[in-house]
Amino acid sequence: MRQVSERALDAASAAGASYADCRVVNRTVQKITVKNGAVAAVELFEDEGVGIRVIVEGAWGFAAVDRLDGVSVEAAARHAVQIARASSRVNRIAVRLAPAPPLVGVYRTPVTRDPFTVSLDDKVSLLMRTDEAMSHQPQVRIRECSLEFVREERHFASSEGARLDQTIIESGGGLDATATSDDEVQTRSFPNSFGRHQVCAGWEAIDAFDLPGNAGRIAEEAVALLSAPVCPAGTMTVILDATQAALQVHESCGHPTELDRVLGHEAAYAGTSFLTPDLLGTFRYGSEHVTMTADSTRAPGLGTFGWDDEGVAAQRSVLVDQGIFTGYLSSRETAAAIGQVSNGTMRADGWARLPIIRMTNVNLEPGTSSLEEMIATTERGVYLETNRSWSIDDRRLNFQFGTQNGWEIVNGKRTRLVRNPIYSGQTPEFWRSCDAVAGPDEWLMLGVVNCGKGQPSQSMHVGHGAAPCRFRDVRVEPAR
Amino acid sequence: MSRDDELLAAGDAALARLERGDAELVIVDDTSELTRFAGNEIHQSVAERSRYVRVRLIDDNRVGVGEVRGFGEAAVERALHAAEESRRVGTGSGVSPLPAPDHRAGGPVAFAPATAAATPEQRAGLVSIVTGAARAHDVNAYGALSTGTRTTAIVTTAGVRRAATATQASVVSVARGDDGGGYASRHSADVDALDVDGLATEVVDTCERNQGATAIDPGDYEVVLSPYAVTDLLEHLAWVGFSALATQEHRSFMRMDERLMSELVTIRDDATALDVFPFPFDAEGVSTQALRLIDHGVCAGVVYDTPTALRDGVSSTGHSLPQPNTRGPLPRHVVMDAGTTPWKDMVSSVSRGLYVTRFWYVRDVHPLRTVITGMTREGTFLIENGRITRPVKDLRFTQSIVGALDGVVDVSRERRLELGEGESGVLAPWLRINRFTFSS
């Protein structure tokens, strides 16, 4: 990898680049899916290539190629320079980078058991036991469970002298039980929806999920939802489970604190942000119970690493401090635009994509309450579990979420199961109405494995630590 | 040797190394470049060259898949090895066989040499048309202009041997003023045919008309939806209901031969249509057939791949995604038939309603009922007494797609080629719908 990057940097400099960096990435992905009692797919993916980023005459250029021979790498470096030069003829403003020390080091995800050393037979066996545990509910017509493992070797080198090597390992798994009747379809998922829960960890994470041990209960819940009453409508108290709280954090805090969105870099696609720089340090984003951080040092989140993809060290930043908006996710270029230094959130979806600002582990810090206490002190409301749908506007204000499960709360008691709940609101009003967050004992490191952003599109794995939390006066209704 | 022939030869050589069982080799060679702009400046410009090899091995009633993104014989060898490793742990049931060649004549392919030869300088020049128009009107342009060439080759031990090279050029832009924005996009196989001037005029015009929007109460409104918005409805309908697997698993809204929508609504999938990125075969190498999905409001058909076709005792329609998969087949060339009304006349029939330029962040809320939610974005206008009178602030909608299409009262004679969120081609008209629910 080092030979490739040295050759790329030399070629870029010789062609006229004033700055260049190079990422050589080798990614291996293993996916196993069992559906309705049969192995639906066992897929092994390998992916290797190099991405070269340059600044020439004040403009960016980037070229990537999957051929690591010297001729191809040098041609890619020269192509990146050609691209940058073409852009420089249109542009009027030169790129400026905030300073960052050129670092040298090695990082590896800490794992107890490397998932790639576990046999495929053992992995299939686990999924078949999970499937069997769901199979006792005839109304569950679609049973699907899966495992996914990722190993990514990353080498980063820059013309400023950075030389960084990382090995990131991810383990994920999950199950979906879909029950159908003549007029209804209901899906329940575990540990999270949309296929799986994934973390930067080894096989020990899969053991901890206990998919077979939870599969029967989840299948029963899917069937129960078919005949459950629809969710009541009205303005009421909402308690979110940790998985739904994590997605709420993702959409309404993670994305709007991305500084490239704030500066308009994503205006034509992902959108902008309501958290403009004039609000930094003074804007009341949430109640005093709400503290949110970006922490790429916090294992086992999917945003845990040694350095970001422009060589800035992993770190913890406070985005919202006891309700006050205090920080952004930034890069060297965007940080310079507001007189700061990068806090290390540039990430690329593999070698073929340009690093852009992405969430690392954006966390709702634990509070002092508990789910039990929150329910006991709620007169009328709903407890909502596991995301089913999500949507938010391009400035990240107007949101609507649906969840798989709802539990009606009456006079401090969790009463009946309700189906098709959705809730909606405006981001600051919603977080200002937060009056309780559960403590460290109920705080989980969760994540999102399909966060889309950028053109060409990039899909990123990001982490979110969250705990159950309570909100007052929220609009709730059933999906009709 | 053409790129098609080169990849076919690589596939033939790989199959020759196979010792037993059946195999499908898919080799895809991609060259894509994209220039992105923000605030009238190019801020990202990228190029990618890559190739991947996907091998599906079937033997002893077990299937395995290996996929390697890389170049040359070593990548093919690794993909074969990975496929055999994964095949070994299959369960020996439910394996779909490789389809036999269908011997249908190859259909048209969206290809233009100019797109394949596009340069960074050319893209920067086209972008400057948009940013120049924005500067001239004192607004800022944001967006991306991309060109790409993809060669896909499929060879199988069942005798399928097909290859095709397609190109695609796209430009998408948002223009923003002090208090509002506009949106426009154009897509073509041929970068020289990309109407960048038309896009620049449209995006700046919409931006200028959409300044100082005021709030309007949510509720039910008559609407005129532009093709950008209609594309979202059609794409989500395809995802949740037009697949044979969705009907087999009882999660589709489709009830064959029943009328669920307005008689003005006819929706087809047509990979042979010259104006919707035609491509002749699917991920199994089966010829993609044109078929009616909704015929004058009546549920008329769903798309099949080999596994779902075997289950229903019919032939695949050539809409397979890479096999094996649990998603089922997918229409990727959705066409809605045009009407007769010029789109500019559609507003004149509305006494009070909304004109919607585009939707944003559309997600399924209840797939069986085709309920989706999303926001309007960059150009929502109040219509009063047959005229657009003022811009209004963006609204959230929560609406059944089938319900909306049942309320279609007019379809424009013009249509636009759009790319959906899933990068599928969609040919969509303007629609006038008598009731559409905005929830907040």
Instruction: Encode pLDDT of A342-388 as tens digits.
Output: 999 999 999 999 999 999 999 999 999 999 999 999 999 999 999 99
Give the residue from A23, A27, A42 with the most B CB atoms within 10 Å of its CB, the best one to mutate: A42
Question: What's the rounded Cα separation, in Å, for the pair B188 and B419?
Answer: 10
The Cα-based distances of B327 to A386, A389, B245 in angstroms read 21, 18, 8
Three-state DSSP state, A118: coil
Interface contact flag, A61 B251, Cβ < 8 Å: no
Cis peptide before A440 (omega within 30 of 0): no
Residue A453, both tokens: 């952003």
Over residues A11-59, the pLDDT tens digits come to 999 999 999 999 999 999 999 999 999 988 888 999 999 999 999 999 9
Q: What is the mean pLDDT of residues A190-216?
A: 96
CA angle B401, B407, B412 (to 5 degrees): 95
Q: State how far residue B128 is from chain A, nearest Cα, in angstroms.
A: 7
Minimal CA–CA distance to B186: which of B363, B419, B395?
Answer: B419
Interface contact flag, B440 A400, Cβ < 8 Å: yes
Domains with residue ranges and CATH for chain A: 2-227 (3.30.2290.10), 234-478 (no CATH)
Strands B291-295 and A19-35: unpaired
CA angle A174, A177, A182 (to 5 degrees): 160
Interface contact flag, B373 A389, Cβ < 8 Å: yes
Q: Beta strands of A197-291 (E only): which ranges? A: 197-199, 234-240
Question: What's the rounded Cα separation, in Å, for the pair B11 and B132?
Answer: 47
Q: Using CB atoms, which residue from A49, A64, A479 is nearest to B365?
A: A479
Residue B155, both tokens: 């060879």
Entry field: residues in chain B: 440
Task: For residue A61, list chain B residues with Cβ-Cβ distance below 8 A.
Answer: 45, 120
Q: What is the pLDDT of residue B95?
A: 87
Task: For residue B90, list chain A residues with Cβ-Cβ distance below 8 A.
Answer: 39, 42
Interface contact flag, B249 A142, Cβ < 8 Å: yes
> Residue B100 carries which DSSP code?
P
Q: What is the pLDDT of residue B11?
A: 94
Neighbours of A202 (CB within 10 A): 23
Interface contact flag, B120 A83, Cβ < 8 Å: yes
Minimal CA–CA distance to A226: which of A193, A177, A174, A175?
Answer: A177
Minimal CA–CA distance to B386: which of B352, B359, B362?
Answer: B352
Task: For residue A391, list chain B residues with Cβ-Cβ distance below 8 A.
Answer: 361-363, 373-375, 396
Q: What is the pLDDT of residue A202?
A: 98
Q: Using CB atoms, which residue from A141, A393, A479 is nearest to B361?
A: A393
Task: For residue A353, list chain B residues with Cβ-Cβ distance below 8 A.
Answer: 46, 48
**CB-side neighbour CA atoms (13 Å) of B15:** 22
Q: Using CB atoms, which residue from B46, B67, B375 is nearest to A45?
A: B67
Burial class (CB within 10 angstroms; exposed 0-12, middle 13-18, buried 19+) of B254: buried
A246 or B74, higher pLDDT: A246
Q: Using CB atoms, which residue from B47, B70, B85 is nearest to A66?
A: B70
Interface contact flag, B396 A43, Cβ < 8 Å: no
Three-state DSSP state, B199: helix
Element (H, E) at B214: none
Q: Using CB atoms, which residue from B66, B120, B142 is nearest to A264?
A: B142
Q: Using CB atoms, which residue from A43, A178, A480 is nearest to B67?
A: A43
Interface contact flag, B45 A84, Cβ < 8 Å: yes
Residue B156, both tokens: 């199988």
Q: State how far residue A332 is from chain B, nearest Cα, in angstroms.
A: 14
Q: Does the pLDDT value for residue A210 go beyond 90?
A: yes
Q: State how far residue A407 is from chain B, nearest Cα, in angstroms.
A: 18
How far is C-alpha A200 from the chain's CA centre? 12
Q: Do the Cβ atoms of A191 and A111 come closer than 8 Å?
A: no
Task: For residue A147, list chain B residues with Cβ-Cβ distance below 8 A.
Answer: none
Q: What is the pLDDT of residue B92?
A: 66
Comparing alpha-carbon positions, the chain B residue that sits nearest to A422 is: B365
Task: For residue B38, list chain A residues with Cβ-Cβ distance below 8 A.
Answer: 263-268
Give the residue from A400, A401, A420, A477 with the most B CB atoms within 10 Å of its CB, the best one to mutate: A400
Q: State how far residue B290 is from chain A, nearest Cα, in angstroms.
A: 28
The Cα-based distances of A179 to A136, A182, A191, B400 in angstroms read 12, 11, 18, 21
Task: For residue B78, list chain A residues with Cβ-Cβ distance below 8 A.
Answer: 46
Enumerate the domain spans of chain B: 3-207, 213-438
Q: State how far residue B108 is from chain A, nearest Cα, in angstroms.
A: 26
Task: For residue B369, list chain A residues with Cβ-Cβ distance below 8 A.
Answer: 479-480
Minimal CA–CA distance to A320: which of A434, A198, A442?
Answer: A434
Low-confidence ranges of chain B (pLDDT < 50): none
Task: For residue A71, list chain B residues with Cβ-Cβ distance below 8 A.
Answer: none
pTM for the full predicted model: 0.96
Interface contact flag, B377 A394, Cβ < 8 Å: yes
Interface contact flag, A185 B176, Cβ < 8 Å: no
Helix axes B120-136, B196-209, angle to 10 degrees: 30
Name the β-bridge partners of A155.
Answer: A24, A165
What CATH number is given for B3-207 in this structure? 3.30.2290.10
User: What dihedral do alpha carbons A411, A414, A419, A425 form, nearest 10°?
Assistant: 60
Question: What's the rounded Cα separation, in Å, for the pair A50 and A207?
Answer: 35
Question: What's the rounded Cα separation, in Å, for the pair B405 and B260?
Answer: 8
Burial class (CB within 10 angstroms; exposed 0-12, middle 13-18, buried 19+) of B1: exposed
Give the residue from B375, B380, B402 with the most A CB atoms within 10 Å of its CB, the best one to mutate: B375
Q: What is the pLDDT of residue B373?
A: 96
Task: For residue B57, list chain A residues with Cβ-Cβ distance below 8 A.
Answer: none
Interface contact flag, A39 B368, Cβ < 8 Å: no
Task: For residue B52, list chain A residues with Cβ-Cβ distance below 8 A.
Answer: 47
The Cα-based distances of A295 to A305, A364, A464 in angstroms read 10, 11, 9
Q: What is the pLDDT of residue B420?
A: 81
Interface contact flag, A391 B374, Cβ < 8 Å: yes
3-state DSSP helix/strand/coil percent for chain A, to nearest 5? 25, 40, 35
Over residues A104-117, the pLDDT tens digits come to 999 999 999 999 99
Q: Does the pLDDT value for residue A148 go beyond 90?
A: yes
Task: For residue B36, list chain A residues with Cβ-Cβ distance below 8 A.
Answer: 268, 455
Q: Using CB atoms, which residue from B44, B65, B362 is nearest to A43?
A: B65
Task: For residue A66, list chain B residues with Cβ-Cβ distance below 8 A.
Answer: 49-51, 69-71
